[in-house]
Amino acid sequence: MSSSEKGIAFAKGGFGCLLVFAVLALLVMMIGGSIRIDLGGACCLFFMGGTIGVIVLMIYNQGKNDASQNPSEIETDQSSEDSSEVD
């Protein structure tokens, strides 16, 4: 996984988190409420969303790598797990 992939995932996650916050804020304002956020809160939301984005990318890449394994390797792994089970 290259650093550019991580950076893109971080940015997408951060902006996605801010977008979700904006949508929820609009919904609250439509029903008559009020909402506000300061720069520190926006930065925290961006950082949390970015961190989640990088974690999701790592999980996705791990699954993609596992799926691209040779089927004989997967069968060998499963047969060794089956033989270790004791009835």
* Residue whose token pair is 């009020």: 34
Could you list the residue range(s) of the whole structural domain that residue 50 is in? Answer: 3-65
- What is the average pLDDT score of the chain? 86
Residue at 86 is within a domain: no
Question: Count of domains in the chain?
Answer: 1
Please indicate, yes or no, whether the overall pTM of this predicted structure exceeds 0.75.
no
* Residue whose token pair is 């801010």: 18
| Region 33-52 average pLDDT | 95
- At 1, the pLDDT band (50, 70, 90 cuts) reads confident
pLDDT at 78 over 70: no
Residue at 58 is within a domain: yes
Distance CA 32, CA 26 (A): 10
Residue at 75 is within a domain: no
Residue at 32 is within a domain: yes
Residue at 85 is within a domain: no
CB atoms within 10 A of CB 23: 10
Tallying the residues shown for the chain, one arrives at 87
Distance CA 8, CA 49 (A): 12
pLDDT at 39 over 70: yes
CB atoms within 10 A of CB 70: 8
